[in-house]
Chains A and B, each alone.
Chain A
Amino acid sequence: MSKPLFGAFSTPEDGVHRLGPMQTIEVPQRRFKEDEVVDYVVVGVGSAGGVLLQRLARAGFTVIGLEAGPFWDTERDWVSDEAGSYNLYWNDLRITGGEHPLALGSNNSGKGVGGGSVHWAAFTPRLHPSDFEVYTRDGVGADWPITYEEIEPYYELLEQEIPIAGPAWFPWGKPHGHPYAPHPMGGVGDTLIKGCTKLGIPVSAGGPVAILSASHGDRPHCIYRGFCIQGCKVGAKASTLVTHVPDALKHGAEIRGSSMVARVSMDKAGRTNGVIYFDLEGKEHFQRARAVIVSGYAIETPRLLLNSACPGHEQGLANSSGTLGKYLMAQAGNVVLGRFDELIRMYKAPPAHALTEEFYETDPKRDFARGFAVQTVAPLPIAFAKQCMTSKALWGWGLRRMMMDYNHWSTLGVLGEILPWEDNRVELAEEKDRFGLPVAKTFFGLHDNDHKLIEFGTKKVMEIMSAAGATEVVSESRYAHLVGAARMGADPAKSVCDKFGRTWDIPNLFIMDGSVMPTQGSANPGLTIQALAARTADYLISQGDSVFTTSKRDMTTPPVRKSLSPPGTFSKGAPHIG
């Protein structure tokens, strides 16, 4: 190859900030003055924060996004290397405990503009209608304060804005189609399809994933090299960094990277008046705002609100119910590994490219509530080496021997619903970070329903793997994703915020990210988080200045504003079925 496809690799130039090989944003960006009072400060520019900033800026509000991690120039900062992707994750200290402790960091926590959407595998299934009434149907977990019908238009909008590639007919939950074509199958997806078909289990091939199967504006299509989780340097995999942040900036939003918010500031009238944050050098700043939206995800959101305790809010902000930090959830993410005589080469194609939700709903024939999905996973060598250790307890020559067969192994994941339990929670630890802020401590344990679900799900996936022709099938236990810990609800005594993310205690303080989810279903949470954020943005726009001036809580559902989508997305590639 004498000429690279996307032009020569160039060193960064002054005045150019690149997002992928084609997209650039203008620098220097807008910079609000230190003493300027803006309408909204959004804490955390991830899946929710990116969408909120884009919507609010388009509607004409003055907005600043404060992000603890860097504002990536992806051509300069990202590398196509498993070990080199270390910086994409929230690697700062957290303490993890409880009977079945969570792994954090690379497993589930992003840091930097785009947040977790930079390193997600990008599966984008919707929640099912049943997810919004788990308590009513099954007597476990919780009901949401909204129905599926209330979020559905936002699923449709975001699926076009991102946009999503997947089959024209997705049969589970409320059936729907996807705007971009499904992706071709890799070796791991083949395994899932073969195994499921043999057992008569319906299966979805080629999506739904937030990965481009055709070029879209200034973003190229997928090149099937399998480095999704390492931050897609190609720009084919969606993150809010490449889908919504550029449009937010164009409409006057400011995003301040490397700005670690220490606490939300309160005035004497019981309203927030801004946030205090540290810059990269550790210098403290106060950013004034008429309202604050916390979008720090399931650990950092409760941590920030707990760290913001002050007179009148001794237990942390928005915690009069005592539920802040509680009902933290992770999904069961047990991985089943199967060895095949033929080659699989699981490093080719996106790790996320086929799934089945046939076991998603509660089945009265099983002895547990709710269910699970089965999805392709495809670890690169370092992650797979660790799975050799966890699945077969190997070390030494045995580990190296299993690794020699890397290209003959396929891996499928259970994605199972763990119910929200009060004792699974985020608290503050004694340890402090480099800014002197107490770090988060998580407690996590599985309950009876969770154990039964995980055992059944793992066994089912092992059957699928065997049916696909694997000669050896083993499994390892792990979790995937985080949500909850600042849940929304209809009852102020049992939840942190209302159905729009407005905290019950402080009228101009909002929470909008995965932490507001009362239950999690067996769907990867990224799409739902973005859809919820777009819905809250519509609410804030409808409320106008009253958010800044009154304590009135208007619970009217706002109209769906389709005019706020990034250019060239809405009504482009309409789903085949609606």
Chain B
Amino acid sequence: MEAVVDRILPQDDRTEERRIPILPIIDERLFANRIEGYRYEDMPPDQEAYRIAAKAIEETAHALYKNSFADLTTLEQEEILQAIHDEKPFAAERTWARMNIRRFWELLISDCCSAYYAHPWAWDEIGFGGPAYPRGYMRLERGEPEPWEVGEQRYAWAAPADTISDLPQQKPSTGDHQTHPGQGGTH
């Protein structure tokens, strides 16, 4: 899964010591069985979902390239993942049939986002001010900086030229209100 997570939330632009751990966080969550408070009736428990997906992705890599997923090129890895995103996996149909592939995809992305954007290094990257306690904020409008803050500074990075995960994506056609990743109630 390490190689999968590296493509879902790529950190190639970050130096080795500034990479944000993702897989250990997911692993620990699954070990402690910290679930989001529900399970879809067409999904197995999260732990089992990851086992099924790991098996299916590995089977696909072997079917297409006779190689392990981790040893494929970045583009080959991305193409396999893009097909899962599109709900049209290249291979391992019987393994994928054991769960709802779209729900697994959203579980995977959610888990990666929850780990990455929980980290202060990611907050710095996107300009999130953090908890601001106890002093809070005073300048609320027009995104003005607080007296102790600097103005917006963009952190520049470039995705690899040949990546396909930077392309515009088609939303799945399976309709509204099919899947709701837990998102901490926005209203």
Give me the interface of A with B, judged by CB distance under 8 Å.
1, 4-6, 21, 80-83, 85-86, 89-97, 100-109, 119-121, 123, 184-187, 190, 222-227, 229-230, 233-234, 333, 335, 342-345, 347-349, 351-352, 375-387, 389-390, 392-401, 403-404, 406-407, 411, 413, 415, 441, 446, 451, 454, 477-480, 524
Contact = CB atoms under 8 A, between A and B. Distances in A.
B37 A89 contact: yes
B48 to A, nearest CB: 14
B2 interface: no
Interface of B: 7-10, 34-42, 78, 81, 85, 106, 109-110, 113-114, 116-118, 122-123, 125-129, 131-144, 152, 154-155, 159-160, 163, 165-172, 176-187
Given A104-B37, A382-B184, 14 more contacts: A86-B34, A93-B37, A104-B38, A107-B185, A187-B142, A233-B133, A234-B134, A389-B110, A395-B169, A396-B8, A396-B165, A400-B159, A415-B187, A477-B177
A123 B187 CA distance: 8
Contacts of B35: 91, 93, 105
In this complex, the member of B129, B176, B180 whose beta carbon has the largest number of chain A beta carbons within 10 angstroms is B180
Contact of B187 (A83, A89, A352): A352
Contact of A382 (B41, B114, B163): B114
Contacts of A95: 38-41
9 contacts: A1-B135, A81-B131, A95-B38, A96-B39, A224-B136, A345-B143, A348-B140, A399-B113, A403-B125
A92 B142 contact: no
A91 B34 contact: yes
Contacts of B39: 93-96
B159 to A, nearest CB: 4
Contacts of A404: 125-126, 154-155
Contacts of B129: 345, 347-348
B143 to A, nearest CB: 2
Contact of A225 (B136, B154, B172): B136
Contacts of A352: 187
In this complex, the member of B114, B127, B169, B186 whose beta carbon has the largest number of chain A beta carbons within 10 angstroms is B186
A42 to B, nearest CB: 23
B109 A395 contact: yes
A21 B134 contact: yes
Contact of A386 (B118, B159, B170, B181): B181
Nearest to B85: A395
Given A91-B36, A100-B176, A404-B155, A5 B171 contact: no
A104 B38 CA distance: 6
A286 to B, nearest CB: 28
B143 A343 contact: yes
In this complex, the member of A119, A347, A387 whose beta carbon has the largest number of chain B beta carbons within 10 angstroms is A347
A101 B40 contact: yes
B117 A441 contact: no
Contact of A381 (B85, B128, B186): B128
Contacts of B38: 93-96, 102-105
Contacts of B106: 389-390
Contact of A413 (B126, B155, B187): B187
The 10 closest A-B pairs by CB, nearest first: A105-B37, A396-B165, A343-B143, A223-B136, A80-B131, A103-B180, A97-B41, A385-B113, A100-B177, A83-B118
Given A398-B166, A406-B127, A107 B171 contact: no
Contacts of A386: 109-110, 113, 181, 183
Contact of A395 (B81, B159, B170, B179): B81
